Structure 1
Amino acid sequence: MRIRNIIKCLIAVVIILCAFFTLVFSPIPSMRQGLVLPFGVVKPFPDSIKQGLDLQGGTHIVLEAEDTPGAPVTDDSVKRAVSIVERRINEMGLTEPLVQQEGAKRIIVELPGEKNPEKAIETIGKTAVMEFKDESGTTQLTGKDLKTAKEQIDNGHKNVVAIEFTDQGAKKFADLTAANVGHRIAILLDGKVLTNPVVNEAITGGKAVITGSNTLEEAKRLAILLRSGALPVKLKVMEVRTIGPSLGQDSKIKSERAFAIGILLIMLFLIIIYRIAGIVANLALLVYVVILLGVLKYLEATLTLPGIAGIILSMGFAVDANILIFERFKEEVLVGKSLRSSMETGFKRAFSTILDANVSVMIAAIVLMLMGSGTVKGFAVNLALGLIVSMFTAIVVSRSLLTWFINTGLVLNPRWYGLNRPIPAHLKKGEQK
């Protein structure tokens, strides 16, 4: 039993340390504020986790799908457009965007930290229909024949987009170039000519380059459009709203203040009611916060106001779990058992209740994750992660700390565990019952 407890303590310590170092250390030095050490950069907690639009500001964009000849708006086409827009934004390297469908035709895009939305709109809003046409104006290949595209600088120090065709596309391109030696082939994007070179010889390698980009950034945007594919419907920008950092900072300050006040009140309540056990619960609560934030940092999750609400709710379950354990512990002491025996029995009796409560809430969180979107999904994910961490801190951390307090023999008076009654005779003698 003693060896098993030691192993549990070691596992708990390792998890806590891993979470702490994940949270406050970044392996790559950056321009952001922090203490640079040989093995990484120490950052304050608020700077170590990505923050959403409502906390750090950014850009809110509303797109609407439009009917065009041959491309009517359907639910399936809008869903595919959402997927393509999300892919384009991810390839642009923007931090944790939110892309979701709203109603039948609208797509909501949120870009946290993005203060210059024009370039983003230029990339995500383009239909990006690519065509290869001969001199007669006949379309011989389309973007569907492309396998991949990558921006690069050629030997002449020009910014180009290197493209590679699919097997079928490579054959089509070889036939097209072989049939048009000495003639021009136009490469168009949304009807605009990107380049119009003269074919000198048949190209059979299944690869080509598109010139005409003035900068490497422009070539990168073109490559993103080609990789993501054409939108199934035309998207019109209906609204662009920039949320300033001051508004986000105000929400952040209020959230931090509410979080701090709530934590302090909970800690004070636990100490007043449960004394030593309350101190144990508070230590476990601090461990809970460190582990959960460490997990969020490791998963590169974005912290939003709904996400904070999910964390606070799961924190309530962590506190409830400790209260259940301590109440069962007190009941066992009141019937005359020793502190150590009461602690073991109390944890066993409380475990099933804690498990049932957490499982029922976890089911609801999973449903929200699967059925919800955007802020609802963020709330559900943080709630689910918080529930898992709260189970660990209540069952392992609280138990280990309480066991240590009792085994030291320094505090044996039940009054220090929230029991206002005289110390039993068998506890004075150190007997186990």
Structure 2
Amino acid sequence: MNRYPLWINILVLVVIVGGAMFALPNIYGDDPALQITREDGNPMTDIVRAQVVAALDEQEIDFSSATLEDEAVVVRFPEVASQLSGSEVLGEAMPFHIVALTLAPRTPGWLNFLGLEPMSLGLDLRGGVHFLYQVDLDSALDQFMQTYQTDLRTRLREENIRNGGVDLQGRVVSVGIQDSERMDDAEEIIRVLDPQASATILGGTPGINVNRTTIDGLPGFRVEPTQTLIVERQNFAIQQNTVTLRNRVNELGVAEPVVQRQGLNRIVVQLPGVQDPAQAERILGATATVEFRLVDWENDAFTADRTGRPPLGSILRYQRDGTPTLLRRDLIVSGDQLTDATFIYSQGQPAVNVRLNSQGGNRMLETTQANLNRPMAVLYVEEKPELLERDGEQIIRNTREETVINVATIRGIFSTNFQITGVTPFEGQDLALLLRAGPLAPPNFKVADRTNGPTHGQDNIPRGRAAVLTGFLLVVLFMAAYYRIFGLTADLALFANLVLIVALLSMLQASLTLPGIAGIVLT
């Protein structure tokens, strides 16, 4: 006899029915599919969809449907073999397009309308992409020593300590002091700039070794990092790049990714459900950023291009159409001073709305106030590290591509908020994503990648389903045989529990893995 109030019974019924609705999309499964998009980011049209269908029909490749979904053409296939064949055919037949392997849910339209989705599957069930990146730790330490050299030169100048120049060779900073009576003042500045200075006061290990010596006949110092600082900077570089890669993965919208350190100088990235590594690799490995510089309007860029010698204080760069442009060497603002970036269309043209931090905003304010009606350029910078083998050793070579994407006259005074124009839709979307995620500290380069296709997980999914059903049926039979009517009641509660677990995983979009299946069996 049911002794509970009516409202409790209604609540239980609502929870079970609601849970069943959330769990329902999981029974339909997925179709192997291809997603075709344009490289420039423009939306696809029905004409392109017809070209896709014609290319597949010409090669007699079996496919279920080809539809326009979210500005992309999605082609569904009855089996994985047809999907892979279709990928090869469309890769050749559709230049300037991205053909990505994916899985398209078979969820009915009315469930999609309600916003109900199946739960995500982990890398071991659905397949996905596995990347292994190596961080250039030598570059991280070199960057730090270059910054130290610049800071030391600035501080000596501010304190009016005459010197013979601050030189950096390898990882050793050398400075000769012309005012010998101010050697102690110079040494104090050198030690204050030590990043471990606060730790040294508390009895910790200093970050730099400072040795008095003679530099070009002048009394001076040689400064080099200690092993403690080297290890600290290497760990910091790994941590910073791990955070940046995690931010970029989050921008990609991948559920339950894995981004973690592996060994001394490597980072492993696992992206469940991503079958085509092209887009993920481009976003994770890219180091695109922007720089804002004043245009050198006093000198002729074509003369500098012809002679190959830009004027003192200027650099020569080129626009997309090859037009030479002279830029001031002094940097106004760089990408690492941006706090937010959003891709938009402004007056029908792609653009990126950016916001600067206070330091960058003040610098931009000072520049625009002093240079009204003068041109300023936006420089698009992309660094591409390459792993080369020379004399049996692996070395890293960084190639830096710089393109002037926009030159505009400063018509007003601004500081923290403005727009970047002159980008393509494709570049604008990627640039906004990369600027939001933050820059990579030292360069990464990929040492391994692996794509686990859905066929790997297809072997595990039936086994996991069989394990759950077998365990469930054994419990049902035992309870029914031993406890009779009370056992059947408990079996219904157990079935409701299973439905609610699946519903909760679907609601949270949590990834189901083999250990997760084992946990469900144990319940």
Which category of TM-score, normalised to the shorter sequence, fits these structures?
Answer: 0.5 to 0.7
1:245 to 438, 447, 454: 454
Alignment deviations for residues 396-433 of structure 1 (CA, whole Å, 9 cap, x no partner): xxxxxxxxxxxxxxxxxxxxxxxxxxxxxxxxxxxxxx
How far the C-alpha of 1:266 sits from its partner, in A, is: 2.2
The aligned residue for residue 79 of structure 1 is 239
Task: Output the CA distance in 1 between the equivalents of 2:111 and 2:489.
Answer: 35
How far the C-alpha of 1:16 sits from its partner, in A, is: 1.6
Alignment deviations for residues 114-159 of structure 1 (CA, whole Å, 9 cap, x no partner): 222122112112344543334331222223432311112221x332
- The question of whether the paired residues in 2 share the 8 Å contact of 1:194 and 1:210 is answered with no
Task: Output the CA distance in 2 between the equivalents of 1:210 and 1:128.
Answer: 14
The aligned residue for residue 177 of structure 1 is 368
Instruction: Give the counterpart letter for 1:118 in structure 2.
Output: A
Instruction: Give the counterpart letter for 1:33 in structure 2.
Output: R
The aligned residue for residue 45 of structure 2 is none
Of stretches 281-290 and 110-119 in structure 1, the one that deviates more from structure 2 is: 110-119
Task: Output the CA distance in 2 between the equivalents of 1:12 and 1:97.
Answer: 35
The reply on whether 1:145 has 2:145 as its aligned counterpart is no
The aligned residue for residue 133 of structure 2 is 63
Task: Output the CA distance in 2 between the equivalents of 1:118 and 1:2.
Answer: 59
1:165 to 356, 368, 393: 356
Task: Output the CA distance in 1 between the equivalents of 2:278 and 2:112.
Answer: 38
Q: Which has the higher helix share?
A: 1
Against the structure 1 CA distance between its residues 24 and 184, is the aligned structure 2 distance closer, same or farther, given a 3 Å change threshold? same
User: What pairs with 1:24-423 in structure 2 (closer than 5 Å)?
Assistant: 24=24, 32-37=105-110, 40=113, 48-67=118-137, 68=139, 69-71=142-144, 74-128=234-288, 130-134=290-294, 135-155=327-347, 157-180=348-371, 181-190=373-382, 191=400, 192-204=402-414, 206-214=416-424, 216-313=425-522, 315=523
Task: Output the CA distance in 1 between the equivalents of 2:404 and 2:494.
Answer: 59
SS in 1 for 2:12: helix
SS in 1 for 2:465: helix
Task: Output the CA distance in 1 between the equivalents of 2:106 and 2:112.
Answer: 16
Task: Output the CA distance in 2 between the equivalents of 1:136 and 1:82.
Answer: 34
Against the structure 1 CA distance between its residues 75 and 269, is the aligned structure 2 distance closer, same or farther, given a 3 Å change threshold? farther
Against the structure 1 CA distance between its residues 287 and 100, is the aligned structure 2 distance closer, same or farther, given a 3 Å change threshold? same
The aligned residue for residue 204 of structure 2 is none
Against the structure 1 CA distance between its residues 212 and 310, is the aligned structure 2 distance closer, same or farther, given a 3 Å change threshold? farther
Alignment deviations for residues 162-220 of structure 1 (CA, whole Å, 9 cap, x no partner): 21223442231132234444344343434533525143434415333223433x23311
Q: Percent identity?
A: 29
Against the structure 1 CA distance between its residues 292 and 183, is the aligned structure 2 distance closer, same or farther, given a 3 Å change threshold? same
SS in 1 for 2:271: strand
Q: TM-score, normalised by structure 1?
A: 0.63
SS in 2 for 1:59: strand
**Structure 2: segments with no counterpart, 5+ residues:** 27-68, 71-103, 145-229, 295-326, 383-399
Task: Output the CA distance in 2 between the equivalents of 1:198 and 1:103.
Answer: 47
Instruction: Give the counterpart letter for 1:206 in structure 2.
Output: T
Instruction: Give the counterpart letter for 1:296 in structure 2.
Output: L
Instruction: Give the counterpart letter for 2:520 in structure 1.
Output: I
Instruction: Give the counterpart letter for 1:187 in structure 2.
Output: L
SS in 1 for 2:134: strand
SS in 2 for 1:139: coil
- The question of whether the paired residues in 2 share the 8 Å contact of 1:178 and 1:201 is answered with no
Against the structure 1 CA distance between its residues 164 and 41, is the aligned structure 2 distance closer, same or farther, given a 3 Å change threshold? closer
- The question of whether the paired residues in 1 share the 8 Å contact of 2:406 and 2:421 is answered with no
RMSD of equivalent CA atoms: 3.0
- The question of whether the paired residues in 2 share the 8 Å contact of 1:88 and 1:224 is answered with yes
Task: Output the CA distance in 2 between the equivalents of 1:64 and 1:51.
Answer: 27
Instruction: Give the counterpart letter for 1:20 in structure 2.
Output: A
- The question of whether the paired residues in 2 share the 8 Å contact of 1:163 and 1:207 is answered with yes
Task: Output the CA distance in 2 between the equivalents of 1:183 and 1:48.
Answer: 53
Task: Output the CA distance in 2 between the equivalents of 1:100 and 1:6.
Answer: 51
Instruction: Give the counterpart letter for 2:511 in structure 1.
Output: T
Alignment deviations for residues 261-297 of structure 1 (CA, whole Å, 9 cap, x no partner): 2222222222233222321221111011011111111
SS in 1 for 2:18: helix
Task: Output the CA distance in 1 between the equivalents of 2:346 and 2:374.
Answer: 23
- The aligned length equals 307
SS in 2 for 1:197: strand
- The question of whether the paired residues in 1 share the 8 Å contact of 2:468 and 2:520 is answered with no
The aligned residue for residue 379 of structure 1 is none
Q: Which has the higher strand share?
A: 2
How far the C-alpha of 1:231 sits from its partner, in A, is: 1.9
Instruction: Give the counterpart letter for 2:331 in structure 1.
Output: T
SS in 2 for 1:230: coil
The reply on whether 1:13 has 2:36 as its aligned counterpart is no
Instruction: Give the counterpart letter for 1:57 in structure 2.
Output: G
- The question of whether the paired residues in 1 share the 8 Å contact of 2:351 and 2:423 is answered with yes
